[in-house]
A and B are shown apart, each in its own frame.
Chain A
Amino acid sequence: MSGFEWIVPVVLTVITAATPLVFAGIGELITEKSGVLNLGVEGMMLVGAVSGFIAATVTGNYFLAVGAAALAGAIMAFLFGVLTLSLMANQVATGLALTLFGVGLSALMGQEFVGEPVQALAKLDIAGLSDIPFIGPIVFGQDALVYLSFFMVIVVSWFLYKTKGGLILRAVGDSHDAAHSIGYPVIAIRYMAVMFGGAMSGIGGAYLSLAYTPMWAENMTAGRGWIALALIVFATWKPGLVLVGAYMFGGITILQLHAQAAGLNVPSQVLSMLPYLATVLVLVLISKDQSRIRKHAPACIGKIFHPAA
């Protein structure tokens, strides 16, 4: 087996790179399915990351930490909701502003915590199972949030396509006027979807500050919120494909890091570009099939809903 030991650590790092994207992507997917485009994912992730980190250092309780991250993300999203859903501000502009606001707010909140260490989120350790070569550490040796991310993908798929609630959510995103005329509370449903999206982004951010690199640094999301947004289009708004996309992106990120470490004779900047380049390429390829996009893209995305007449 010598020569293949590197596979396990690579897979492990791919999982940690992908998990925040899965959370943010799956949350924003619900937001977008309801017909709202929230470009503030990056900002919500940052505020979630710093809130989770503060709660963890102050209380030492990781349940509270993840809860605080989710709450912080949801509050940010609520703010976005008030502006775009109640006050009918432009969603694109408000989302961009939310990201800028999140960058500043998280830096302010985390000022005294920069560089402080925190215990990394505990990994599962089941005697026997976790020791199985290859499969053990990968399947049975992850932290709780990794399992939660997979669970959320399943729950969201089930909700969207198997429940009446999911049907109503998709209906609101497909035609808010029709949903309104049949009698569904469009604005209330969108508030819930937006806040779910915020909470998931917050947890995605907290994964970075509690597990990926257990520390707080300004701007530590480094553009992952934007990747999560792109992933949704990449996945043509399907939860399962968000997972696939997140792992593909995570995989390329890690592989290029390893390639750089191995001293591959390619400028490191080019290698750093790879994950983004791959994302764009796949996006283009997928956009070629218009009927598929038509089927799954929420038709009302980004449109302001006026409940009058």
Chain B
Amino acid sequence: MSDSGGGTPQLELRGITKAYPGCLANDHINLKIMPGEIHALLGENGAGKSTLVKIIYGVLEADEGEIRWVGDLVSISNPHAARKIGIGMVFQHFSLFEAMTVAENIALGMSGRQDMKALENRIIEVSNSYGLPLEPHRQVHTLSVGEKQRIEIVRCLLQNPKLLIMDEPTSVLTPQEAEKMFETLRRLSSEGVSILYISHKLDEIKALCHKATILRGGQYISECDPTKETAKSLAEMMIGTDLRAPEHHQAVKGGAVRLKVRNLTIDSDVEFGVNLANINFEVRTGEILGIAGVAGNGQIELLSALSGETRSSDVEAIMLDGKSIARLNPKERRDLGLAFVPEDRLGHGSVPEMTLAENAFLSGYSRMDLMNSGFIDNGGTAHYAEDIVKKFDVRTPGISHTANSLSGGNLQKFIVGREVLQNPNVIIVAHPTWGVDAGAAAFIHQTLIDLAEAGAAVLVVSQDLDELFAISNRIAVISEGRLSVGRELREITIEEIGLLMGGTHGMGEPVETPHVA
């Protein structure tokens, strides 16, 4: 259902305004969503999308403006009220409770009393029918990012909403899974459910959405029909300037092997973790190797084995520039020129409550020589942090602000910048642009490509296939703790990768994953 000419809108916002001290997050925003319409909300990080969506869901209160629900003026004072009138939301930063089970998390997101047994059955039923398999008894902290997102989606679907707000729902799904979810969304749309869809993937918006509202800097820019726009024109409306695609490069043939992993086998020490079985790959100087895979297939374990958070007993398993690093700790590996951008920006990639300068110091003090006989070289540290902020266009009032005061995209730019400026020989990057807007993503991609061209070996672990295709020279797929042989980009299609990612995982037919013995 794409015709939304007449009739009463399901939801209409008029003149919504919300100010924070020193910043106007929403400046008289208008928005109209018809029943059954899939409406895209587009904008960079900091454009005011999250604020607007939180106002609709009742987490925040608008300073000004009115919300009309099927024509009636309503005040949505809290999320319970929003759910009551039929608004559901999938959050970008998950609203999940780590120490609880999947079923308990879902019960918490629903109003009223639930019978746990009946709820568990409904979870299994709904999650399977929408292709988002979940085990109700699993503890959330043992799940991967992708699996966690499934919980959020299923939690909403269980409440039969009239309006579904989705904040970047497909960023961690395989193309097949995403396509399956689009079918779900189209089905919901045909059943009359309106969907407010936030995504940075412009192709996806073009394929799925009927209407798009574009925000920039807290202001309403325009409403358009995304099917009539190109991805480039949408992106340009969004960031207000011309967008440059990353310049693809050709890896130098026969460069020296910088990172070599041989028969890496590690049994996971977490409950429900994935065991790594016989992982083999190498990354050469000047090369970007992409590792694709659905979340929860051993990425976390592989990354922590490479960073040194878990260590291998096999000395030969991981070699950096010909030296064994398998038994070294993360700091010793850093000293040898291994840089690392972890998946979790806040908490793993940075200390949230510490300032940018302190965060810069913590990762770079030895490579950047920021310590004077045990004392912190404050001048040098400030200079290093300022350098990151300037060269990587980190938007922050200053380096004395804490890491958690930055938006996701800005913090990611800061962390990538911090690692890149250390001039690494090998850099390992996990989900470099997850939840990052198009402008920042393009910048991060270009940075990684430049770094490879300067002679570093780059390993990118991501679930975003568009991203891997945009920057990698070779792509390998991880599935159930096994890694397929890396294939040259031109030898492999997105469909083939999708099938490898499906592997024996999930509900599809089991497909043999090739791997080096």
Contact = CB atoms under 8 A, between A and B. Distances in A.
Interface of A: 164, 167-168, 170-171, 174-175, 177-184, 291, 294-299, 309
B75 to A, nearest CB: 15
Contacts of A170: 97, 99-100
A175 B58 contact: no
A177 B347 CA distance: 15
A181 B95 contact: yes
28 contacts: A164-B107, A167-B100, A167-B107, A170-B99, A171-B104, A174-B99, A174-B100, A175-B96, A177-B95, A178-B97, A179-B97, A179-B108, A180-B59, A181-B54, A181-B59, A181-B79, A182-B79, A182-B95, A183-B58, A183-B78, A291-B270, A294-B99, A296-B99, A297-B99, A299-B98, A309-B20, A309-B51, A309-B60
A73 to B, nearest CB: 28
Majority DSSP secondary structure for residues of B touching A: loop
B97 A174 contact: yes
B113 A164 contact: yes
A164 B99 contact: no
A35 to B, nearest CB: 11
Contacts of A295: 99, 139
Contacts of A184: 108
A174 B94 CA distance: 13
B178 to A, nearest CB: 24
Nearest to A178: B95
A167 B104 contact: yes
Interface of B: 20, 51, 54, 58-60, 78-80, 82-83, 91, 94-100, 104, 107-109, 113-114, 139, 141, 270-271
Contacts of A296: 99
Given A175-B97, A177-B95, A182-B79, 5 more contacts: A181-B95, A291-B271, A294-B141, A295-B99, A309-B59
Contacts of B78: 183
A299 B99 contact: yes
B271 A171 contact: no
B100 A171 contact: yes
Contacts of B270: 291
A172 to B, nearest CB: 9
Contacts of A182: 79, 95, 108-109
A183 B100 contact: no
Contacts of B99: 170, 174, 294-299
Contacts of B20: 309
B96 A183 contact: no
B348 to A, nearest CB: 15
A299 B100 CA distance: 11
